[in-house]
Amino acid sequence: MLVVRPIFKDDYDSLHLCAEESGHGFTSLPVNQELLSNRIAHSVNSFQKTEVSSPGDEGYLMVGVDCDSGEVAGTTGIEASIGWDAPFYSYHISKVVHSSPQLGVNNVVKLLTFGNNYTGCSEICTLFLRPKFRGGLNGRLMSKCRFLMMAEHPHRFSTTIFAEMRGVSDDKGNSPFWDWLQEHFFSIDFTLADYLTGIGNKGFIADLMPKLPIYINLLSPDAQNVIGKVHDNTRPALKLLENEGFTCRDYVDIFDAGPTVECDLRNIDTVRHSFRAKVSIAEHGSSISYLISNTSFEHFRAVAQQAAFDAETQSVIISPKVAQALQVEAGDWVRMAAV
């Protein structure tokens, strides 16, 4: 059984392993000791904040842990409000019409416009599940547990939730979109640019990135073909978010042109349809699985396990093992949702 909990300071080695296994293009998990240590410390402090009435600079990083072996299976996170301590950049795809009635010419051309439109929004990020744990309900748990947290503690998050999806790159980390940018505006390769961004060194972006809109039809065919497309390994994560109600509003990443998807917090499917239930602890014969979390924030726990829910009494029977994983007792409340 996998249980999701806030990251601890002694989880550094496990997080470093996830960073190594995540590969190129995973900006939020660079293989950098100082950054990973700082991110863990920031998350620990964020979870300990009790007087939070609105989203600020908090960053919540969690890990999925195998209850039997104690091994960390992956990580998942939320940034409460991005763009305040460091700028958050993206490209917006827009259209412009070049028209000449006299010549009978009417061309619609797409543009990439550089901006900071997601400033202040909450970002779901750092979702990575190690290959050996990619099975069953683990992927759904790691992704959707964040929505149970948002449903239970909405005041900690923005009304707009978004996610940057990893764009197209090859096994060596080369991005067709970045190759074009590199040729015309930069002198560093994609992996270095991606790494510098991950460790917070973003000054070069504002210094070197073209400030005026870029005509997409002037890009190389390879660069044009990957705009708004995701890495093959990211397709399952994108599909899951689309099923939750997330959609692309024509924003893409400035490095690999991967799509950014967003949804109003209230319209996220798991948030809308989650519910509370009072706990009874006993063995049961139910074969129906649910996403289940406790109602604590500082000691948040979530699992995807079988439970016997009674809608009439708003109560749920969970096994002693599940109760222990969630750190709940009989009479406590949990939040639940369909898997």
pLDDT tens string 73-110: 999 999 999 988 778 889 999 999 988 788 888 889 99
End of a domain among 240, 270, 300?
A: 270
Residue 330 and residue 247 in one domain: no
Residue 264 has pLDDT above 90, yes or no: yes
Residue 45 and residue 165 in one domain: yes
End of a domain among 270, 302, 329?
A: 270
| Domain assignment of residue 106, yes or no | no
Residue 197 has pLDDT above 80, yes or no: no
**Residues contacting 195, CB < 8 A, separation 6+:** 30, 32
- The SS3 of residue 73 is strand
Residue 319 and residue 266 in one domain: no
Residue 166 and residue 285 in one domain: no
Pairing of strands 160-164, 122-129: parallel
DSSP notation for 290-313: EEEEES-STT--EEEEE-EEETTT
* CATH code for position 142: 3.40.630.30
| Domain assignment of residue 243, yes or no | yes
Tell which residue, 312, 306, 275, 270, has the closest CA to residue 288.
306
Average pLDDT over residues 182-187: 73
Tell which residue, 78, 119, 90, 86, has the closest CA to residue 300.
78
Write down the pLDDT at residue 31: 81
| Domain assignment of residue 199, yes or no | no
Residue 261 and residue 297 in one domain: no
Write down the pLDDT at residue 98: 83
* CATH code for position 324: 2.40.40.20
**Domain of residue 153, residue span:** 2-82+120-174+228-270
Tell which residue, 62, 34, 35, 32, has the closest CA to residue 46.
62
- Residue 282 CB neighbour total at 10 angstroms: 11
Q: Calculate the average pLDDT of the chain.
A: 91
Average pLDDT over residues 111-126: 94
Q: What is the pLDDT of residues 52-65, one digit of tens each?
A: 999 999 999 999 99
Amino acid occupying residue 176: P
* CA separation for the pair 105, 163 (Å, rounded): 39
Residue 248 and residue 288 in one domain: no
Residue 232 and residue 313 in one domain: no
- The SS3 of residue 45 is helix
What does DSSP assign to residue 234?
Answer: G
Average pLDDT over residues 16-23: 88
Average pLDDT over residues 151-155: 98
As to burial, measured by CB atoms within 10 angstroms (0-12 exposed, 13-18 middle, 19+ buried), residue 321 is middle
Lowest mean pLDDT among 30-34, 127-131, 170-174: 170-174
Residue 143 and residue 262 in one domain: yes
Residue 133 has pLDDT above 90, yes or no: yes
Average pLDDT over residues 286-293: 97
Partners of 289 in the β-ladder: 306
| Domain assignment of residue 258, yes or no | yes
| Domain assignment of residue 189, yes or no | no
Residue 128 and residue 264 in one domain: yes
DSSP notation for 155-191: GGS-SEEEEEPPB---TT---HHHHHHHHHT-SS-HH
Amino acid occupying residue 322: V
| Domain assignment of residue 87, yes or no | no
Residue 236 and residue 170 in one domain: yes
Write down the pLDDT at residue 54: 95
Domains of the chain: total: 2
Write down the pLDDT at residue 26: 65
Write down the pLDDT at residue 252: 96
State what percent of residues in the chain have pLDDT above 90.
Answer: 71
Average pLDDT over residues 209-226: 90
Tell which residue, 49, 48, 41, has the closest CA to residue 10.
41
Residue 7 and residue 152 in one domain: yes
Average pLDDT over residues 305-315: 97
Per-residue confidence band for 29, with pLDDT thresholds at 50, 70 and 90: confident
Write down the pLDDT at residue 65: 98
Residue 232 and residue 315 in one domain: no
Residue 198 has pLDDT above 70, yes or no: no
- Residue 134 CB neighbour total at 10 angstroms: 13
End of a domain among 270, 302, 326?
A: 270
Element spanning 289, H or E = strand 289-294
24 is catalytic: no
Set 42, 98, 184, 231: catalytic member: 231
- Is the entire prediction scored with pTM above 0.85? yes
| Domain assignment of residue 10, yes or no | yes
Average pLDDT over residues 251-257: 90
State what percent of residues in the chain have pLDDT above 70.
Answer: 92
| Domain assignment of residue 325, yes or no | yes
